[in-house]
Amino acid sequence: MSIATAPSPSVALPGGRSDLVVVGAGIVGLAHAVEAVRRGLSVTVVERDRRPVGASVRNFGHCCITAQQGDLLTLAERSRTGWLDAAARAGLWAPEAGALVVARSATELAVLEELRDERGTDAVRLRTRDEVGDALGRPADERDDLVGGALLPADLRVDPREAAPRLAAWLAEQPGATVLWGTNVTGVEEGTVHTARGPVHGEQVLLCVGHDLDRLHPAEAEAHGIERCRLSMARIEAPAAFRTDAAILTATSMLRYDAFTATPSAARLRSEVVGHSPELLDVVANVMFTRLPDGTVLVGDSHAYDATEIPFQDEATSTLLLREAARVLGVSEVRVTERWQGVYASSPRGPLLVRDVAAGVRAISVTSGVGMTLSFGLAAATFDGALKVTA
């Protein structure tokens, strides 16, 4: 029997010892590698796939800064600076376009007003019905369902399909930096990362493998309650008049992010959504969308949690999300060009896993849907020794 396969380009392991070995070329690993280079360290990134294909390329490309609370807000604000710096170095598309939260009821607007009262008018800029309608590209006589909204100008946008691959390509060009694709890591110990191609050596090792930490260090992953969160996503052709680069958030987003859920009107908003759209809560929807530089729009999402994700996508969930996005855009239907399933690490115990799994080996996984937002802030905090490590 002979089975034809395409030849893989060979991968030469570096002979020496890097200051840092990063396992995983998603945004968390790459942000740490970029930060290492910025601080003059040598770094080797080891990635099992031939290009980034994980959560970091399947998301909205929304650095959701203002909607974070507490320690995460501090990390997110730091991350914003890191993203802009990395974007300038690597030539990434990263418009400071903010996020526009659309309010379609008085309660939704009340949540935004309360957040404005807490954060101030620079951070949360209330918008009128017509300003929101203009941003969505809706005709002036088709805005009756809109009440108003808020622009969160600190939020950033990136193209998730471009950011990680381009950062990796930029890294590979830097002196002292190496990216090893197609190199599966099978185990890690102090100073050595064992791969299917042989050992890679480093003074320090960071495991940035997201939910797949349960494959390398199951006990550590289980101690943090890591599971896989599965999200239904689609790409649509944009209605011609929809041109904003701001991320668009809606009522279900306000039920999800901590800055909104901490407002006094959040509980009333949940009851309201239970009343008019229980089906959105059944799929744990966060109806939001972002426009890519080519004009197409990423639409999502739903959330389903399990240790191992179900591979099958429910068409009813996808239809529900697309219908809701069409309503916000003010169009009767949208044309889908792609669908996919996103998977990210999640945990009921908190949004970050930071654990030392061996001497000189630290695992860092974002266990909530905010890894794009936090990545560069986490990286800076790691090198400053400012990350809280779970014992």
Residues forming the site for ligand FAD (CB under 6 A)? 23-29, 46-49, 52, 54-56, 58-60, 62, 64, 184-185, 208-210, 212, 216, 231, 233, 300-301, 342-344, 365-366, 369-373
Question: Is the CB of 135 or the CB of 164 nearer to ligand FAD?
Answer: 164
Q: Give 43-69 as a DSSP string.
A: EEEE-SSSS--SHHHHS--EE--TT--
CA distance 23 to 33: 10
Question: Is the CB of 107 or the CB of 365 nearer to ligand FAD?
Answer: 365
Residue 169 Cβ, how far from ligand FAD at the closest point, in Å? 15
Q: Is the peptide bond before 301 cis (omega within 30 degrees of 0)?
A: yes
Helices 27-38, 70-90: inter-axial angle, 10-degree rounding: 70
Question: Is the CB of 59 or the CB of 66 nearer to ligand FAD?
Answer: 59
Question: Is the CB of 148 or the CB of 210 nearer to ligand FAD?
Answer: 210
Q: Give 87-113 as a DSSP string.
A: HHHHT-------EEEEE-SHHHHHHHH
Question: Is the CB of 105 or the CB of 390 nearer to ligand FAD?
Answer: 390
CA distance 383 to 385: 5
Residue 230 Cβ, how far from ligand FAD at the closest point, in Å? 8
Residue 304 Cβ, how far from ligand FAD at the closest point, in Å? 12
Question: Is the CB of 147 or the CB of 334 nearer to ligand FAD?
Answer: 334
Residue 19 Cβ, how far from ligand FAD at the closest point, in Å? 19
Residue 181 Cβ, how far from ligand FAD at the closest point, in Å? 10
Question: Is the CB of 148 or the CB of 342 nearer to ligand FAD?
Answer: 342
CA distance 386 to 225: 23
- The helix/strand/coil state of 229 is strand
**To the nearest 10°, the Cα dihedral for 109, 115, 118, 120?**
-80
- The helix/strand/coil state of 221 is helix
Residue 206 Cβ, how far from ligand FAD at the closest point, in Å? 11
Q: What is the number of other CB atoms lying within 10 angstroms of the CB of residue 355?
A: 20
| The dihedral sign for the CA sequence 218, 222, 223, 228 | positive
236 phi/psi in degrees, rounded to 5? -125, 160
Residue 372 Cβ, how far from ligand FAD at the closest point, in Å? 3
Tokens of 125: 């800029």
Question: Is the CB of 320 or the CB of 370 nearer to ligand FAD?
Answer: 370
CA atoms within 13 A on the CB side of 104: 20
Residue 114 Cβ, how far from ligand FAD at the closest point, in Å? 23
Those residues with Cβ within 8 angstroms of residue 170's Cβ, 6 or more apart along the chain or in another chain: 34, 89, 90, 91
Question: Is the CB of 26 or the CB of 82 nearer to ligand FAD?
Answer: 26
User: Cβ(375)–Cβ(27) under 8 Å?
Assistant: yes
User: Cβ(180)–Cβ(82) under 8 Å?
Assistant: no
Question: Is the CB of 107 or the CB of 260 nearer to ligand FAD?
Answer: 260
Residue 29 Cβ, how far from ligand FAD at the closest point, in Å? 5
Residue 126 Cβ, how far from ligand FAD at the closest point, in Å? 23
CA distance 61 to 285: 18
The residue type of 239 is P
User: Cβ(126)–Cβ(156) under 8 Å?
Assistant: no
